[in-house]
Amino acid sequence: MAVKKTDKKVSQTVISEGKFYTISAANGRVVEVADYNTENGAKIQLWDDANAEWQQWGFVRAGEGVYRIKNRFTGKMLDLDCSGVTDGTRVHQWEGAQASSQLWVVEPIHDGRVKIKSNLSGKCLDLVATNTDNGALVQIWADLDGENQYWYITDVTRKPKPSAKAAAAKAKAEVKAAADSLGDAATDAVKLAAAVWNDATENAGKLVDAAVKAVSDFADAAPKATAPKAEKAPEKKSVAGAVKAARAKAAKVVEPAAPKAPEAPKAPEAPKAAKAAPKAEAKPAPAAKAEVKAEPKPEVKAAAPAAPVAAPAKPARKPRAKAAPVAKAEEKPAAKKAATKKADKK
């Protein structure tokens, strides 16, 4: 179909930010978000112009002659499905992002219409199968200068017609978006708490491991530190060493006592001691027993050998003191008998 040429110039197509426009095909139907859907991925189609907000678009400048095209009702952008660049890639809406799949170049032609090309692929906004009926889907295709690739951009001068259904759908979508946002925030909080807990558990585990290692190292080092003392202890406190020391001490005690032995016959009262000899000799016997019993003691105790040397000196004096009266007592009857015998002789 031939396009009727007009006297319109390129400069007559003016796009301003802050305003809204319709994008319409040659038959007057406009590009809209299907079923006023506010979700990401909602399809873009043709429909009769109802002066509805989901049929109106704002152009957000992103460079010289380059725009992001934003829906008035949903607030989302015209976008290429999966950032596709091949012929037949569907056009849908998606939340705004710094993505080249959302960038479009408006290229005016001679009759006041424009081509809207993807800045990513260089291909034109196009109607699937050149269909212009209600519900015809929008795609991108290579530039063929076809009627289904030419668009009128017209500014909106009337107040949009309200729609209860659209308003309800939008409110529902906003509530859902808020809930999703809260859910995401809760999820993030849980993840953060889990991360903090994991860090704390890991740090606690490291502290415990360090403490266990320190105790283990101390336990390993303790026997090494005490081992030398344990080896020397038997040398100082062994039974053989004790006996040897005791014998040495006993020898030292006995040796100086030997020269004092002659002091026993020191008393010049030998005659008196002779009279008392019978009884005096009987009493020292216990001292002899003490000497016999005391002989094995030096082997066990160091101080035992000293007793036998000093014992005879002390008991020897005691019997001598008592022997005198006994001797005198024996002399009296003897004197009486002698006197009697003399009397008889006379």
| Mean pLDDT for the chain overall | 76
Kindly state the percentage of the chain with pLDDT values over 70: 62
Look up residue 86 and give its DSSP letter.
S
The band of 73, judged by pLDDT with boundaries at 50, 70 and 90, is very high
**Ranges of each domain in the chain:** 10-162, 239-336
Does the global pTM surpass 0.75? no
* pLDDT of amino acid 211: 86
Contact predicate 99/47, CB 8 Å: no
* pLDDT of amino acid 242: 73
Angle at 224 between CA 218 and CA 229, to 5 degrees: 125
Q: Could you read off the pLDDT of 180-217 as tens digits, one per residue?
A: 878 778 888 888 888 888 888 888 888 888 888 888 88
> What is the CATH number assigned to the segment(s) 10-162?
2.80.10.50
Q: Measured in whole angstroms, how far is the alpha carbon of residue 236 from the centre of its chain?
A: 50
* pLDDT of amino acid 241: 74
Helix intervals (H) in the chain: 164-237, 239-257, 270-275, 277-282, 285-294, 297-300, 306-310, 313-345
d(CA 77, CA 101): 10
Handedness of CA 49, 52, 54, 58 (dihedral sign): positive
The band of 148, judged by pLDDT with boundaries at 50, 70 and 90, is very high
Q: Could you read off the pLDDT of 210-243 as tens digits, one per residue?
A: 888 888 888 887 766 655 555 554 455 566 677 6
* pLDDT of amino acid 225: 61
